[in-house]
Amino acid sequence: MAQVLEFKLPDLGEGLTEAEIVRWLVEVGDVVAIDQPVVEVETAKAMVEVPCPYGGVVTARFGEEGTELPVGAPLITVAVGERPASGAEDTGSGGSGNVLVGYGTSEAPARRRRVRQDRPLSGASATAGGADRAGSPTGRADAAAAPGPVSPARAQAQAGIGAPVATVNGQANGSGSADGPVPVISPLVRRLARQNGLDLRELTGSGPDGLILRADVEYALRAAGRQDTQGAPAGSPAAPHPHEVRHTPSPALASRPSAAVPGETRAPLTGETRTPLKGIRGAVADKLARSRREIPDATCWVDADATELMRARAAMNAVGGPKISLLALLARICTAALARFPELNSTVDAQAREIVQFDHVHLGFAAQTDRGLVVPVVRDAHARDAESLTAEFARLTEAGRTGTLTPGELTGGTFTLNNYGVFGVDGSTPIINHPEAAMLGVGRIVPKPWVHEGELAVRQVVQLSLTFDHRVCDGGVAGGFLRYVADCVEQPAVLLRTL
């Protein structure tokens, strides 16, 4: 007899307490293998696919796409121990304990197949997104294979409920975008539309294969705003603010079914906007506030002539091969300076009242993305040359832009390099990336008057700043580190002594 097991949202690491469902990878009635990914979720740090540790038939799903679930909340239930119906694969009934892709059993997940329906579906079956949490789901595949509506479009698609379901390679062949989520370029675009009450199924995407881009959503919101301003009928869409803020809805917007996240309220006063501190913005806020509370930081800075460093980079890139980035050269200087001043490559264990010093450099670098500020980590940066650092920076930056950084690529840093010069500013006093002990900041490199070899000349000048935890060292160590970095920027040949 089948046993119904409940799989809950696992702890995805680094103290994350919730995750948002981006896309379901299985339907109720699908046969899943052990460690097969069943849902894609977005945490405050990254988007990850969550594998199920059980093999069997999916009997219920909890939460629609866009729903935020706390860690420990039910995700799906799986009937195990009973051989699936004809045409489905026998996946076994064991569990691996796996919680993330890449951790757990090494077997490749089998291709999922839908259990064919031998009789018309009953309207009393469990729904696909809520699954009647009050009652326990049934363990029979034939009764659980009847997903209810998870969206208005899917409800319309299931109106002909007695019609046979066409399958291709064991997969249900739906009617295009009416079955499943609308393809969008990122979760931010889906959230932007949802918080402004915009139905994505009414849009035609301008991206490849009809992919909906952020520009498509913003254009639709602006067009709706113009109609509302010109006195459009009450049924026409209004124009909420095109950013992730919540305004008092216009009558036109209020006439449409609300797509807001449950529990959210709109600002009651005109002219007032409220942005919820959640997701990556909330995680950043919590970490920065904790850093300010716990770390007694201090900052020192110095101007440096970067003309020779820029010439050295141009010479490297002139000989062919992969282009060396400026960030990679600065990282190479950073790791050399940390070898001389290892006190800054450390952390403070407040409970044990100990300073923990590391013999490796996992270098974090601040990167601004559409999802907000992220700090990917280059592992063993001290053991990499400029070419390797350039390639790794490029890979992690692209993953940050697409939202595919894994929790492992966002954690474990021992020192951070912050190139805020890309924003066109000279200096900053950054907040240390807790629980690290220091951060090197680099401003923009611009032509400035500079005394060079006793004469006034125009040189490429950069401002360097070091913010450090005063518990791990005094000003002499911090000043020595920053001075060595500046010397390497001004005379890159200094690095040859330690290569």
Catalytic residues: 470, 474
Question: For the chain, what is the HEC assignment?
Answer: CCEEEEEECCCCCCCCCEEEEEEECCCCCEEECCCEEEEEEECCCCEEEEEECECEEEEEECCCCCCEEECCCEEEEEEECCCCCCCCCCCCCCECCCCCCCCCCCCCCCCCEECCCCCCCCCCCCCCCCCCCCCCCCCCHHHHCCCCCCCHHHHHHCCCCCCCCCEECCEECCCHHHCCCCCECCHHHHHHHHHCCCCHHHCCCCCHHHCECHHHHHHHHHHHHHHHHCCCCCCCCCCCCCCCCECCCCHHHHCCCCCCCCCCCCCCCCCCCECCCCHHHHHHHHHHHHHHHHCCEEEEEEEEECHHHHHHHHHHHHCCCCCCCHHHHHHHHHHHHHHHCHHHCEEEECCCCEEEECCCCCEEECEEECCEEECCEECCHHHCCHHHHHHHHHHHHHHHHHCCCCHHHCCCCCEEEECHHHHCCCCCCCCCCCCECEEEEECCCEEEEEEECCEEEEEEEEEEEEEEECCCCCHHHHHHHHHHHHHHHHCHHHHHHCC
